[in-house]
Amino acid sequence: MNQTRRKRRPDPSPPPLISPRVRNIFLLLTFLFVIYILFSYGTFRRDRFSSLARSLSVFPTQRRHLLFSIAASHGSWLSRSSYVRLWYSPESTRAVVFLDRGGFDPDPALPPVTVSEDVSRFPYNFPGGLRSAIRVARVVKETVDRGEDNKDVRWFVFGDDDTVFFVDNLVTVLSKYDHRKWWYVGSNSEFYDQNVRYSFDMAFGGGGFAISASLGKVLAKVLDSCLMRYSHMYGSDSRIFSCVAELGVALTHEPGFHQIDVRGNLFGLLCAHPLSPLVSLHHLDAVDPFFPKTNRTESVARLIRAASFDSARILQQSVCYDSSNTVTVSVVWGYAVQVYEGNKLLPDLLTVQKTFSTWRRGSGVRSNYMFSTRDYPRDPCARPLVFFLDGLGSDGTGGTWSSYGLHSVGNCRRAEAVEGLRNIRVLSRKLELNGEQMNPPRRQCCDISSPYNKSMVINIRQCMPDELIAMNT
């Protein structure tokens, strides 16, 4: 080709200094060299960038940034691991279980188990208390001291083996705080007397609490000296609280953590959850199953399944009114719907119905709680109609339907408008909470699609700017 071209149009330039063949090889080598430089520089940049981004919290907090430590004992672990199985997922949750002694075969559906260090050198002199409080308090230090295993951990989360966490909601809640600062996040007891006894400012251990990675590192260094100083205290959570206090840090109260220092029927408590994502439930063995005809594990599994459709919405309460029939409906998403005959005012419906009994038993125990309560009528006919969650699914476009079946008790005369009601279907969009929506949060509104007879359809939606949650009269 070259030769034919030269023949037609003679080349005026002098002959090249290097032959085209050598030049091509040279160009190829240069090309490869440039690619190599670009690639290695790129990798370097990427590493540098991601570590920089990590330290600047450019990336939002995710499930993998949380490390859960579960305090258990050899005696309780076998039965209570059935609760942990419900909320722990091996692919996305990081967790460690601390036992007093080993002897369990590894189970891939459960977090790895580790045996706590010997704590016999620490004094314990709370009369009638349990020495295990020291071991459980020291879980905090032993977790943080895991070193390299804690890469990328932003929050250390502590709970018992009978604590059930709603992990995505905990991620949402903790995202409000900067993990590079010192945070101690949790909640106290529902039972007033327990807070009098221990402290209003303490995160109760069973409800679970979270410690930012930076606070965790400091706390791990000083905890042993605190364990020497607070030998007169009863529990592990008092020891952590005291040590955190000595570091000058106070509790940040998050109402989604639930110690559940009550017994029996939790219905009233679950139906008046604060406007804050549900983070944890504890003392499951002391309360009745949440749903009729289920055992405790099945009940919790049903709540967790509902949360898998719309985590932030679980137990969130919306109230809507049917003014043509004077009917008031309270929807507690993912759990229960109550239908009241008559016009009920919102503040009354947001008050906890006292369906449960006190944590401590015996005469002289006052039923004083940390929230407003109202009586739950003994006569089932004086109560609203109650419907419990019996199914849910997605509509494929970000919407969720959930259905609630009538739980009928007693042979009550009901108003004509509601006497035929057997089922309620609730439609909602996935609740996406960003920092702005959480601070402060606003309750959502709902509409009853009329007419209804056997089945009522309710649509939950964002309220309009000046919309009031009240009966149109």
Ligand X SMILES: *[C@@H]1O[C@H](CO)[C@@H](O)[C@H](O)[C@H]1NC(C)=O
Does 76 engage in binding with ligand X (CB under 6 A)? no
Does 298 engage in binding with ligand X (CB under 6 A)? yes
Q: Segment near ligand X (CB under 6 A), from 53-61, 279-287, 291-299, 363-371?
A: 291-299
Length of the chain: 473
Does 297 engage in binding with ligand X (CB under 6 A)? yes
State which of residues 24, 50, 453, 455 lies at the interface with ligand X (CB under 6 A): 453
Minimum separation from the CB atom of position 110 to ligand X (A): 16
Distances (CA, A) of 155 to 16, 20, 56, 71: 67, 63, 15, 17
Name the burial class of residue 146, with classes exposed (0-12), middle (13-18) and buried (19+) by CB atoms within 10 angstroms of its CB: middle
Minimum separation from the CB atom of position 297 to ligand X (A): 5
Does 295 engage in binding with ligand X (CB under 6 A)? yes
Does 420 engage in binding with ligand X (CB under 6 A)? yes
Name the burial class of residue 377, with classes exposed (0-12), middle (13-18) and buried (19+) by CB atoms within 10 angstroms of its CB: exposed
Q: Measured from the CB atom, is 51 or 295 closer to ligand X?
A: 295
Minimum separation from the CB atom of position 425 to ligand X (A): 16
Minimum separation from the CB atom of position 417 to ligand X (A): 9
Minimum separation from the CB atom of position 290 to ligand X (A): 13
Q: At what angle do helices 132-144 and 236-246 cross, to 10 degrees?
A: 50
The whole-angstrom separation of Cα 154 and Cα 172 is 13
Minimum separation from the CB atom of position 295 to ligand X (A): 4
Question: What's phi and psi for 361, nearest 5 deg?
Answer: -105, 170
CA 117 to chain CA mean position, Å: 29
Minimum separation from the CB atom of position 418 to ligand X (A): 11
CB 334 within 8 A of CB 392: yes
Q: Measured from the CB atom, is 63 or 296 closer to ligand X?
A: 296
Does 455 engage in binding with ligand X (CB under 6 A)? no
The site string for ligand X over 238-277 (x = CB under 6 A, - otherwise) reads ----------------------------------------
The whole-angstrom separation of Cα 8 and Cα 164 is 87
Does 107 engage in binding with ligand X (CB under 6 A)? no
Minimum separation from the CB atom of position 67 to ligand X (A): 28
Q: Measured from the CB atom, is 144 or 301 closer to ligand X?
A: 301
Q: Segment near ligand X (CB under 6 A), from 67-75, 170-178, 251-259, 293-301?
A: 293-301
What residues have CB less than 8 Å from 70, skipping those under 6 apart? 84, 95, 96, 97, 98, 111, 159, 160, 161, 163
Residue 322 DSSP SS3: strand
What is residue 207's DSSP assignment? T
Minimum separation from the CB atom of position 200 to ligand X (A): 35
Q: Measured from the CB atom, is 80 or 273 closer to ligand X?
A: 80
Q: Measured from the CB atom, is 295 or 434 closer to ligand X?
A: 295
Does 324 engage in binding with ligand X (CB under 6 A)? no
The whole-angstrom separation of Cα 187 and Cα 378 is 31
Q: Hey, which bits of 180-316 come out as E strands?
A: 184-186, 209-212, 252-253, 262-264, 280-281
Q: Measured from the CB atom, is 173 or 339 closer to ligand X?
A: 339
Q: Segment near ligand X (CB under 6 A), from 26-34, 133-141, 290-298, 362-370?
A: 290-298
CA atoms within 13 A on the CB side of 421: 31
Region of 108 (left: φ > 0; alpha: ψ -120 to 50; beta: rest) is alpha
> What does the binding site for ligand X look like in residue numbers (CB under 6 A)?
295, 297-298, 420, 453-454
